[in-house]
Structure 1
Amino acid sequence: MNNLRVRKIAFTAVLAAFAVVGSFISFPVFGAKCAPAQHLANILGAVFLGPLWNVAAAFVASLIRNLIGAGTPLAFPGSMCGALLAGVMYRAVRRLPAAWLGEIAGTGIIGGMLSYPVARFVLGNEKAALLTFVVPFLISSAGGAAIGAVITVAMEKLGLLEAERFFSGQRHGDAR
């Protein structure tokens, strides 16, 4: 059991590092910094780690991005809500589209709306409204989810999603 925890911690760190490095490939959309790599990391984390470890990876990535000046506090609600919902939906359905849709809805809609109080009260943006960040977050998460869809479908066809058992503690041939 301890070995399983070490594997999950290591992969969580890899996903967080990927999201941080990938954040340097970003583009502005209506005042938000959109980084598709975070959304790809959230989808991979949903499939391989589950919701809690996925949220941990998103939190660590957001924290590091903020500490090094590569992100804003808006990264926290967006990435963490997407990670949580993608993980929960994938865990419940065990189908890749559930992770993709969970990422888009979690980041784009829920994270976008939860960014309002962050923008208003933490960043002091008086012009922010409840739905201000929904469209830019939807654009970013849809782009990242599309990349994630291409990669995860290819992984599935190559049999690489069988590695999911590596992180879940199941042995070859065990039932899900």
Structure 2
Amino acid sequence: MANQNKVLKTVFLSIMVAIGVVISPILRIEGMCPTAHLINIVCAVFMGPGYSLLCATLIGIIRMMFMGIPPLALTGAVFGAFLSGVLYKLSHGKIIFAVLGEIFGTGVIGAIVSYPVMTFLVGKGGLTVFYYVPMFITATIMGGCVAYIFLISLKKTGMLTKIQDRLGCEVYEGKRNSSK
């Protein structure tokens, strides 16, 4: 059973990466990629912080290699993906905390980390430390709202628990998860 869970997790992670890569250029606004944040939150809730971080990293690397996207594909995703999973876990399965983790992790931490990366490594001038914050927060709120609606819908039907259980991940049902 443990080996079957590993295979299923790997397949699910691969599907999340594929979806993230394919829809990112389609559903994109200049300087923002709300679908990346949707994927980060969904992956964090389904599989936890480690897998969400891995998913965001793989999507970012593929987008940079094959789509010519700057390093923002990584700096604008990995912190939120990881923090989303951590806050979801620490809150014992409250979806809103996964969304808030993505918003703060990407919208603030990722945006601020993007400044030195873009300034010193890429050589883009005219930036300030908070240059990316408005764009990143806007994109995370957009993606976070869609992720929240999607995950709450799954939770109401009982599918969220079934998916988490099938993947062999931590399931948060019962008294500790009585609120959204």
TM beyond 0.5: yes
Distance 1:131 1:166 in 2: 41
What does residue 28 of structure 2 align with?
26
Cα pair distance change 1:165/1:37, threshold 3 Å: same
Report if the CA contact (8 A) 2:80-2:103 is conserved. yes
Partner of 2:80: helix, strand, or coil?
Answer: helix
Partner of 1:68: helix, strand, or coil?
Answer: helix
Report if the CA contact (8 A) 1:18-1:37 is conserved. no
- Of 123-132 and 102-111, more deviation after overlay is shown by 123-132
Whether 2:131 is the aligned partner of 1:132: answer: yes
What does residue 68 of structure 1 align with?
66
What does residue 84 of structure 1 align with?
82
Percentage of pairs with the same residue = 32
What does residue 43 of structure 1 align with?
41
Distance 1:59 1:150 in 2: 25
What does residue 18 of structure 2 align with?
17
1:3 CA displacement = 2.0
User: What one-letter code is carried by the residue in structure 2 that aligns with 1:67?
Assistant: M
Cα pair distance change 1:35/1:70, threshold 3 Å: farther
What does residue 59 of structure 1 align with?
57
- Equivalent residue runs for 1:89-128 within 5 Å: 89-93=87-91, 94-128=93-127
What does residue 165 of structure 2 align with?
165
Distance 1:11 1:110 in 2: 27
1:121 CA displacement = 1.4
Structure 2: give runs of 5+ residues left out of the alignment.
none
Cα pair distance change 1:127/1:41, threshold 3 Å: same
What does residue 146 of structure 1 align with?
145
What does residue 8 of structure 1 align with?
9
Report if the CA contact (8 A) 1:77-1:112 is conserved. yes
Distance 1:8 1:49 in 2: 8
Superposition CA RMSD, Å: 2.0
Report if the CA contact (8 A) 2:48-2:169 is conserved. no
CA deviations on 1:42-92 (whole Å, 9 max, x unpaired) are 111111110011111001101111112252211101111110000000011
User: What one-letter code is carried by the residue in structure 1 that aligns with 2:28?
Assistant: S
Distance 1:125 1:170 in 2: 42
What does residue 154 of structure 2 align with?
155
1:126 CA displacement = 2.2
Distance 2:123 2:69 in 1: 16
Structure 1: give runs of 5+ residues left out of the alignment.
none
**TM-score scaled to structure 1, two decimals?**
0.90
Cα pair distance change 1:4/1:125, threshold 3 Å: same
